Amino acid sequence: MSCLALASTTLASTTHSGTTGSGDAPRPVLVGGHRVEVPVSGGTATVDTTSLRVTARTGQGTVVLSAPAATAPGKPGSVTTSPGTARWSYPDTGLDVTARAGGTGRLVLSVTATGKAAGESARTLSWPVTGTDRRATAVQLSRGEGLSLPVADRFWNSSRADLVGTDMAMESDLSMPLWGYTLGDRQGVSYLVPSDIGTSLRVTSDAGKLRTAATHRFSRADGTTRYTVAFSLTDGSPVAAAHDYRAWLGEHGQLKSLREKIRETPATRKLLGAFHAYLWGDARKADFMGRLRGLGVDRMWLGYDADDRPMDATATAAAKKVGYLVGPYDSFANGQDPATSDAPTSTWPGTVYPDFCVRDADGKPVPGFHDRGCYLSSEAFEKAEPRHHYLADRTREMTKAGADSYFLDVDAAGELFRDHSAAHPLTKAEDRANRLARMTRLSDRGLVLGSESAGAWANRDLAFDHGSGTPVAGGLWTAQRDKETWGGYAPADAPGVFFKPAELPADVAKAMYDPVYRVPLYEAALHDSVVNTERWELSYDKLPRQKTDRALLGMLYNTPLNFVLTGDSLEKSGRELATLQKYFAPLHKAAGTEPLADFRALTADRTVQRTVFGDGTLTVTANFGSTPHKGLPGGCVDATLRDDTAPRRLCPATVNGTAG
């Protein structure tokens, strides 16, 4: 069964909840001793109340959805039922549980902490414990764009991959609150955690196989007293969990399409077909726009850093005239002493610094990025209204040259704060709500809004992001700290950190860019909602060894490439950029507003992969290998739009002879 068929099944199943068929009476939740049986699409799920072990009976046998909880929930009380729902409690630990049949045939389990269990000295629950089914062959993780890892892969089970033993915070370390498993050839399981704040996912290696377990911390003060996990049986596709999450978002009114965003802000259409680039030095001048357009580049998103040389009105007008989006970089997250601040975005009027600093449990300011100044409380800004319009004034100043786009760093990246300040206390959930509110205000001003490494929870407010396309491995940060090999922040017109070509350590490169392990989870959920790119400090030219694979991934996933540009760099690589953008533009213009309907590997070694967007609007086949596959050479990609009579081919390594 293909991912496209899975998507169709998911949509069809919305017509009934816990039923035997459309229009049939609801199938009841059954209770027998310590067993609670819930009807789900594809079978019947069973929860053992003594341990929270979850299994499912299907036409292909019994599937283990979760082993017993790693932290014992306690002795369960009796089970009560109502139509479609069962309830029980663990009096010793203060946990109440409901199990129900979700709207599209899922098993939805919610655990609520009461009494002391929800207090400041919060308890944790390590569950579900997943990947223990003996037929598990691969685990899917929403790290950046997405990974699908064979559970017995020696590299990923070793310390070299920097994965085993890590705890990934659902709201910040993963781009979406989900994971999945493939079981054999045609079966799998999807796990969704809507209550992502306070939840982490830990990866372990058990007898040479990757296992995972979620842990939730219940705390009334943190606003995390309720923990929900949704289980679904899938066809085992590596993107099935993402399709399941997309359906969940739609069911709960949490998904907004690019088409809707274009209707509300017509300039958003200029993202379709556009590559993205940050400009430095003389690239911020009006004549640069003519040079870039003269190469045949018809769509670009152009950004510029917040420094003492922003793009002026003439340059902005020139860029917009030739069809480009223009936007400043800004951040509402950092504050420094205005007398010593090293960044305009960290300089605020009055006593914003230090009055607005986030405070830890000891009342001390939380140090800002790279220990500069402090992180600023979103609640402090909200409380300052309506007397002070700090954020609106900042935005007005940043866009006075006519910018029609805006890049707001950090806000959608998921690093949320608990603020212990007596003047502006807030929980992480309230912090997220404040960030969403201020992003909405930016969008409502008609700005095409983007942010860093956007979590899926921000999809309604953002048109694009820089970073969720990159499955960052921890070794990347180590590599970036070596300024001798990676580059520093000089010269000012072309900082080495962005422009100096660098080589990733072999294990880091494998963990991040080996196409055998990459899957488009983010696109499967959000392709037609958010235009997703890689981190902006990892421009296309920054990593020469990965250029071919990154270009193929971009075309396969129908996502733009990122660049950094100066006048000199345009002379050196402008024709390469133009050739790649000319190939990408018609594909993205046609399919950028379509969902990713299908993804699959066409060869056993996974070096040849195919995507389908919409109802056949665009089909892309990429060969990451070194040998031809049915006429498609290694290192090349074929794309076919619906009305094409022949595939459109791109072999990135042959473009100006610079990639490879």
Q: Checking DSSP bridges between strand 167-169 and strand 147-150, what pairing results, if any?
A: unpaired
**Which value, to the nearest 10 degrees, does the dihedral of the CA atoms of residues 516, 644, 522, 280 take?**
90
**Tens digit of pLDDT for each residue in 396-421?**
999 999 999 999 999 999 789 999 99
Contacts of 217 (CB under 8 A, 6+ apart): 122, 123, 124, 198, 199, 224
Cα–Cα dist 246/248, whole Å: 5
Cα pseudo-dihedral 9, 10, 11, 17, rounded to 10: 110
| Contact by Cβ (8 Å): 633, 622 | no
Q: Does position 385 have pLDDT exceeding 70, yes or no?
A: yes
The per-residue pLDDT for 632 is 98
The backbone torsions φ and ψ at residue 539, rounded to the nearest 5 degrees and listed phi first, read -60, 165
- Rounded CA gap, 447 and 643, in Å? 34
Q: Which two tokens mark 485?
A: 């090999």
Surface-to-core class of residue 497, CB atoms within 10 Å of its CB (0-12 exposed, 13-18 middle, 19+ buried): middle
Confidence of residue 117 (pLDDT cuts 50, 70, 90): low
CA distance 98 to 445: 42
pLDDT more than 90, % of the chain: 90
Per-residue pLDDT tens digits for 288-338: 999 999 999 999 999 999 888 999 999 999 999 999 999 999 999 999 999
Let me know: does 314 contact 290? Beta carbons within 8 Å: no
As a whole number of angstroms, the distance between CA 490 and CA 494 comes to: 7
Token digits of residue 74: 């306690």
pLDDT above 50 for 9: no
The arithmetic mean of pLDDT across residues 41-51, rounded, is 97
Residues 6+ apart with CB under 8 A from 568: 494
Tokens at residue 640, please? 């076919």
CB atoms within 10 A of CB 422: 8
Q: Within 10 A of 82 (CB to CB), how many other CB atoms are there?
A: 11
Of 157, 150, 154, 233, the C-alpha closest to 192 is 233
pLDDT (mean) for 466-474: 97
Tokens of 588: 């993205």
Mean residue pLDDT of the chain comes to: 93
DSSP single-letter state for residue 250: H
Distance CA 485, CA 502 (A): 7
Identify the CA nearest to 50 among candidates 79, 76, 78, 20.
76
**Structure token digits, residue 617:** 């609007």
What amino acid occupies position 270? K
Return the structure tokens found at 328.
């400043």
Classify residue 365 by its DSSP letter. Answer: B
pLDDT-derived band at 510, boundaries 50, 70, 90: very high
The DSSP 8-state label assigned to residue 27 in this structure reads: P
Average pLDDT of the segment spanning 529-533 = 98
Q: Please give the Cα distance from 478 to 339 (Å, whole number).
A: 31
Phi and psi torsions of 99, nearest 5°: -125, 130
CA 510, 516, 517, 520 dihedral sign is: positive
